[in-house]
Chain A
Amino acid sequence: MADVRLIKITKRFGSVAACSDVDLVIADGEFVTLLGPSGCGKTTTLNIIAGLEEATEGEVRIGDKVVNDLGPFERDVAMVFQNYALYPHMTVAENIGFTLRLRKRPKQEIAERVGKVADTLELGQLLHRLPRELSGGQQQRVALGRALIREPAVFLFDEPFSNLDAALRVRMRGEIKELHQRLGVTSVFVTHDQEEAMSISDRVAIMRLGRVEQVGTPEEVYARPRSTYVARFVGSPQMDILAGSFESVDGRTRYRVGAVSFPVPESVAAAAAGREVDVGIRSEHISLGDEGPSATVRVVQPLGPMTYVTVAWDGGLLTARLPGISRLEAGQTVSVGLAPEHLLLFERESGLLIGQGESR
């Protein structure tokens, strides 16, 4: 077991930088997810940790060793690939045991260890099948088995669930999390699915254009996103970000968005300090009731445990999350309230978080 340290990692392909100045410390036994849209450099970063790609600049440390010049195998990492990358001509048992075969372990030992891993992953019945005779979920398990048998210091996952259907994905997510809790091996996971990232990680690193935008626990990145980019990327539905301006009405501060203005605490305007700011709010902190400026219900999406209600007014739009099944209907007029302590202030020019609302 080991921690992983990326120190000022930069990778350039020609003149294009796939990642630049990536600093990231993954503690021993921690589960960290690199999250971001395609092309943000997350897979490149993972490949650099794996040793499949060489960093142009910077240092990769695993445990107390600088591993820049080591191959993937010497780094003692195991990787699960997006497309499973099972060897098509080998049976499940041969796929899982390949690494031991390369190390010239005795047949007996290989069989035993493959059997143990297969039991863990419930692959016992399938050991003699070829990959093409397996379902997507089973193939995924074999890929996992191939990593497990290594008993590596670090697990690397490159979007391992992206080819599975939604239900299976949720199940595998649970299985990986359980596996991690049981084995406690340092893990780095790459995904573009924020829900996946939030649900399995100890910490999430959100990447943008080759840089790490924010690293934090799921709670942190959800509740205090460092920028509008993170705010929009994390959470579903997306955080609503209103582009309005402060005004003073009867001595009280309000935030005007199009035809409507919301009352906001004094401290919020103070934090803005004269800068132009956008105001962000999560859907669960929006109330639709009797108090506050009015808006028209546009769309109602009941999901069972909750209902998304989109309301609009001249110049603005918000999606609220209401518990249970809502009785609201499209076309109705409602009053919109924003929980002041959950308002997030982003500087408009930079998109960075500059303050948070407080309770009145």
Chain B
Amino acid sequence: MRRRLSTWGIRFALLAFMILALGPIVWGLITSFTPTSALTQTPPDLSLESFTLDNYVDVLVSRGNLPDALFDSAVVATLTASLSLVLGSAAAYALARLKVPGSNKILLAVLATQMFPGIVIAIPLFIVYSQFRPLGYSLIDTHLGLSLTYLSFTLVVVIWILKGFFESIPPQLERAAAVDGASTFQTFRLVVLPISLPVLFATGVFAFIEAWNEFFFAIILTRVDVKTVPIAIAEFSGQYRTLYGEMLAAAVLASIPVVLLAIIFRRFIVKGFVEGAVKG
């Protein structure tokens, strides 16, 4: 009896959690297919008769802004993910396997950078970016500038995750490579990285999503030339009027790449890859 009660309790809790988690998404989806006029009347008209694709047509064709933003976001996120992986994997491997003096302190320092709230560094960063002009260009309002900023928090996670993974690779593999005549870099490139692919992919996706979703630094460090999706979405909310339908349609479109990545990423994680490397 008691057991049955607790089962029901768990079911209820799960249901409540599911509604909490999925509710806004469902609401967003419905909104994106409903004209803003139908949404803003009281009570809102959510019937099937008001179903429309106008919002999507609007944001993709007429209102022009979103496709550019999707492109900018893709550039920034890809750049961030790639730089995170290249720099992060090298740093993580060095910290995991090479005799780096004070590696523990370095790791702590890396982590410590996360203790500053974004708002604390946003303004200094803005000033640095606008004053510092290598080759005469400022980093303000550029893809690279935004990516560099994102690196400051994606790298931390990438380094820590990859370091843990590299440490779990049996050292005999690297010793075998050394005996076979591989240099440290060859061992890293030809042995360690290929067997780390699933983890590299997962951390890369993480960095991509972080950069894709970021709003705060984007609004401070970019203006005209570069406008990422979160900023573009926010612009649907005006001083006098918010275009809920269009805004949510844009949000749904912006989520698609992330959702797709998450699905692939899950398949990779599940796939045990190192099995068969070392027996015992």
Question: Measuring CB to CB, which residues of chain A are less than 8 angstroms from any residue of chain B?
Answer: 50-52, 71-73, 77-79, 81-89, 98-99, 102-103, 130-133, 136, 139, 146, 150, 162-163
Looking at the assembled complex, report how far the CB atom of B170 sits from the nearest CB atom of chain A, in whole angstroms: 6
Cα distance A77–B176 when bound, in Å? Answer: 11
Cα distance A146–B177 when bound, in Å? Answer: 10
Q: Which residues of B contact A89 (CB under 8 A)?
A: 194-195, 197
State whether A85 touches B170 (Cβ < 8 A). Answer: yes
Partner of A102, one of B182, B194, B195, B280: B182
Q: Which residues of A contact B195 (CB under 8 A)?
A: 87-89
**Given A83-B279, A84-B279, A102-B186, CB of A73 within 8 Å of CB of B180:** yes
Looking at the assembled complex, report how far the CB atom of A185 sits from the nearest CB atom of chain B, in whole angstroms: 15
Q: Which of B232-280 contact A (CB under 8 A)?
A: 273-280
**Given A82-B172, A85-B173, CB of A52 within 8 Å of CB of B277:** no
Q: Which residues of B contact A98 (CB under 8 A)?
A: 177, 180, 182, 190
Q: Which residues of B contact A51 (CB under 8 A)?
A: 178
Query: 1/0 per residue B175-214: CB within 8 Å of A?
Result: 1111111100010001100110100000000000000000
Listed residue (B190, B273, B275) with the most chain A CB atoms within 10 angstroms of its CB: B190
For the complex of A and B, the 9 pairs showing the least CB-CB separation, nearest first, are: A132-B276, A85-B172, A73-B181, A88-B277, A99-B180, A85-B176, A83-B278, A89-B194, A72-B179
5 residue pairs bridging A and B, Cβ less than 8 Å apart: A52-B178, A72-B179, A98-B190, A132-B275, A163-B280
State whether B276 touches A79 (Cβ < 8 A). Answer: no
**Given A83-B278, A84-B279, CB of A52 within 8 Å of CB of B179:** yes
Cα distance A172–B190 when bound, in Å? Answer: 30
Looking at the assembled complex, report how far the CB atom of A296 sits from the nearest CB atom of chain B, in whole angstroms: 43
Q: Which residues of B contact A86 (CB under 8 A)?
A: 176, 276-278
Q: Which residues of A contact B179 (CB under 8 A)?
A: 50, 52, 72-73, 77-79
Chain A residue at smallest Cβ distance from B182: A102
**Given A89-B194, A89-B195, CB of A131 within 8 Å of CB of B276:** yes
Chain B residue at smallest Cβ distance from A130: B276
State whether B274 touches A146 (Cβ < 8 A). Answer: no
Cα distance A155–B194 when bound, in Å? Answer: 28
State whether B273 touches A88 (Cβ < 8 A). Answer: yes
Cα distance A133–B277 when bound, in Å? Answer: 11
State whether B175 touches A83 (Cβ < 8 A). Answer: no
Looking at the assembled complex, report how far the CB atom of B171 sits from the nearest CB atom of chain A, in whole angstroms: 9
Cα distance A15–B236 when bound, in Å? Answer: 68
State whether A85 touches B278 (Cβ < 8 A). Answer: yes
Q: Which residues of A contact B191 (CB under 8 A)?
A: 87
Question: Measuring CB to CB, which residues of chain B are less than 8 angstroms from any residue of chain A?
Answer: 170, 172-173, 175-182, 186, 190-191, 194-195, 197, 273-280
Cα distance A132–B275 when bound, in Å? Answer: 7
Looking at the assembled complex, report how far the CB atom of B201 sits from the nearest CB atom of chain A, in whole angstroms: 14
Cα distance A99–B176 when bound, in Å? Answer: 10
Q: Which residues of A contact B279 (CB under 8 A)?
A: 83-84, 136, 139, 163
Looking at the assembled complex, report how far the CB atom of A217 sits from the nearest CB atom of chain B, in whole angstroms: 29
Chain A residue at smallest Cβ distance from B181: A73
Listed residue (A73, A82, A89, A146) with the most chain B CB atoms within 10 angstroms of its CB: A89
Instruction: Given contacts A50-B175, A86-B176, A86-B276, list 12 more A-B pairs with CB under 8 A.
Output: A52-B175, A72-B175, A72-B178, A73-B179, A79-B175, A83-B278, A85-B172, A87-B177, A87-B277, A88-B276, A162-B280, A163-B279
Q: Which residues of A contact B175 (CB under 8 A)?
A: 50, 52, 72, 79, 81, 85
Looking at the assembled complex, report how far the CB atom of A159 sits from the nearest CB atom of chain B, in whole angstroms: 10
Q: Which residues of A contact B277 (CB under 8 A)?
A: 85-88, 131-132
Cα distance A165–B181 when bound, in Å? Answer: 31
Looking at the assembled complex, report how far the CB atom of A7 sits from the nearest CB atom of chain B, in whole angstroms: 22
Cα distance A139–B280 when bound, in Å? Answer: 12
Chain B residue at smallest Cβ distance from A47: B175
Looking at the assembled complex, report how far the CB atom of A48 sits from the nearest CB atom of chain B, in whole angstroms: 13
Looking at the assembled complex, report how far the CB atom of B194 sits from the nearest CB atom of chain A, in whole angstroms: 4
Partner of B181, one of A52, A102, A133: A102
Q: Which residues of A contact B275 (CB under 8 A)?
A: 88, 132
Chain B residue at smallest Cβ distance from A164: B279
Looking at the assembled complex, report how far the CB atom of A256 sits from the nearest CB atom of chain B, in whole angstroms: 48
Q: Which residues of A contact B273 (CB under 8 A)?
A: 88
Cα distance A88–B278 when bound, in Å? Answer: 8
Q: Which residues of B contact A136 (CB under 8 A)?
A: 279
Cα distance A71–B182 when bound, in Å? Answer: 10
